[in-house]
């Protein structure tokens, strides 16, 4: 396993891509860390992969070393930008050969949702740990198969829940666990934006597995769970579609959904591709409250509680996420909120239930976890 000290000099040549961190300070931070480094290959070189790659330049425990893409021009560009050697570049046909590459520890899958299942299973079969963007799969059945495949291959499966490491979010969770809000009664999660290009993959059911719920709604689902600290036992849901041309069959435009929790707390959430200014979490207890707005955007997150404004500093989410995930994979660290495949499977089961509730108009019971 390489250490950060081993490749410090090699990385200095690419330091010019770090717009927010002076070279001297960056090198000083790297020099303080002399532990194992997680060597990452990114699969799918779209917009989010670019964000992750840029953020990783400030990591101390994780390093971008490889790419997997179906577009040769993108690979060449990334090689130039991030000093990636030819031997660490693959396409979707030959990336199984990554099993022979000892310089790559983990594959981070950032492709469209419907591709995650097969790509994660292939990466696991090649003996590599896997980080998969959320939603992990398009349904719970596929998610379970991915978990089983990674267990069989004895590799870790993590999911890109960046908010699980966000300081203001974690402070609210600490306060809730400490009893500062008293008995939790209500959670509200509003997640949405007006989506643009009607030809993009997010509006293609075959690639996305759905619509807004599979992209932005999952934040409210996951947030309801970690903010309340409970798992829902029932769900109801209603769909609204105003543009059936843009939002074709199976691609949801707007869904309102409600949860009930074992304690008696309830949640009311909204997922939409047709409204802006929706990025808000609100948690209400008998003794206090917490509000995040924006709650899940790239930052900075802003938060208030009944005790005042939250002032934890903003750090690029993906930088923190990748360093923390390096600790999980290489050192066995346990995050405050899980980010493994089992955590993602819980969200997928709820998504399945929401779609069933929309279809049937009935309250859908969820099995206790």
| Domain positions in the chain | 4-162, 167-311+341-365
Burial of 16 (0-12, 13-18, 19+ CB in 10 A): exposed
Burial of 340 (0-12, 13-18, 19+ CB in 10 A): middle
**Mean pLDDT, each 10-residue run in order, the chain (369 residues):** 43 38 41 88 98 98 98 98 98 98 98 98 98 98 98 98 98 98 98 97 98 98 98 98 97 98 98 97 98 97 98 97 98 98 98 98 90
Give the residue among 114, 66, 122 at the shortest CA–CA distance from 92: 122
Which pair of structure tokens corresponds to residue 138?
């398009």
Give the residue among 88, 82, 13 at the shortest CA–CA distance from 49: 82
Helix (H, G, I), strand (E, B) or coil at 331: helix
CA distance 187 to 206: 32
267-304 per-position pLDDT tens digit: 999 999 999 999 999 999 999 999 999 999 998 999 99
Check: CATH 2.102.10.10 for 167-311+341-365? no
CA distance 233 to 245: 35
26-85 per-position pLDDT tens digit: 344 445 788 999 999 999 999 999 999 999 999 999 999 999 999 999 999 999 999 999
Give, rounded to a whole angstrom, the gap between the first and last alpha carbons of the chain.
37
User: What confidence score (pLDDT) does residue 367 get?
Assistant: 87
Q: Length of the chain, please?
A: 369
User: What confidence score (pLDDT) does residue 317 get?
Assistant: 98
Give the residue among 87, 91, 95 at the shortest CA–CA distance from 120: 95
User: What confidence score (pLDDT) does residue 369 get?
Assistant: 65
Question: Which residues are identified as catalytic?
Answer: 134, 219
Check: CATH 3.40.50.720 for 4-162? yes
Phi, then psi, of 284 in degrees rounded to 5: -120, 130
């Amino acid at each position: 396993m390489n250490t950060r000290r081993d490749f410090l000099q090699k990385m200095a040549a690419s330091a010019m891509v770090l717009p927010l961190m002076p070279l001297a300070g960056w090198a000083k931070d790297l020099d303080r860390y002399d532990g194992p480094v997680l060597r990452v290959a990114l699969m799918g070189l779209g917009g989010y992969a670019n964000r992750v790659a840029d953020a990783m330049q400030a990591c101390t425990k994780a390093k971008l070393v490889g790419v997997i893409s179906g577009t040769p021009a993108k690979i060449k560009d990334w090689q130039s930008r991030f000093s990636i050697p030819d031997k660490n570049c693959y396409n979707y046909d030959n990336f199984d050969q990554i099993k022979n590459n000892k310089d790559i520890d983990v594959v981070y899958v950032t492709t469209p949702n419907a591709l995650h299942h097969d790509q994660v299973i292939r990466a696991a079969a090649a003996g590599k740990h896997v980080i998969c963007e959320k939603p992990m799969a398009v349904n719970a059945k596929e998610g379970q198969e991915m978990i089983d495949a990674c267990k069989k291959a004895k590799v870790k499966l993590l999911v890109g829940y960046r908010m699980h490491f966000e300081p203001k979010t974690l402070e609210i969770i600490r306060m809730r666990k400490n009893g500062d809000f008293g008995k939790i009664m209500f959670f509200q999660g509003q997640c949405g934006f007006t989506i643009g290009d009607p030809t993009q993959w997010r509006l293609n059911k075959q690639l996305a597995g759905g619509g807004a719920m599979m992209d932005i709604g999952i934040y409210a689902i996951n947030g309801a769970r970690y903010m309340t600290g409970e798992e829902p036992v029932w769900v109801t849901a209603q769909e609204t579609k105003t543009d059936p041309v843009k939002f074709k069959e199976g691609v949801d435009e707007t869904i309102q959904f409600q949860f009930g929790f074992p304690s008696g707390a309830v949640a009311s959430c909204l997922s939409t591709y047709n409204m802006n200014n929706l990025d808000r979490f609100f948690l209400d207890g008998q003794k206090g409250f917490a509000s995040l707005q924006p709650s899940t955007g790239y930052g900075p997150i802003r938060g208030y509680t009944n005790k005042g404004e939250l002032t934890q500093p903003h750090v690029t989410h993906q930088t923190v996420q990748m360093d923390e995930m390096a600790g999980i994979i290489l050192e066995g660290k346990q995050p405050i909120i899980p980010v493994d495949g089992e955590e993602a499977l819980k969200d997928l089961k709820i998504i399945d239930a929401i779609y069933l509730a929309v279809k049937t108009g009935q309250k859908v019971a969820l099995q206790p976890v």
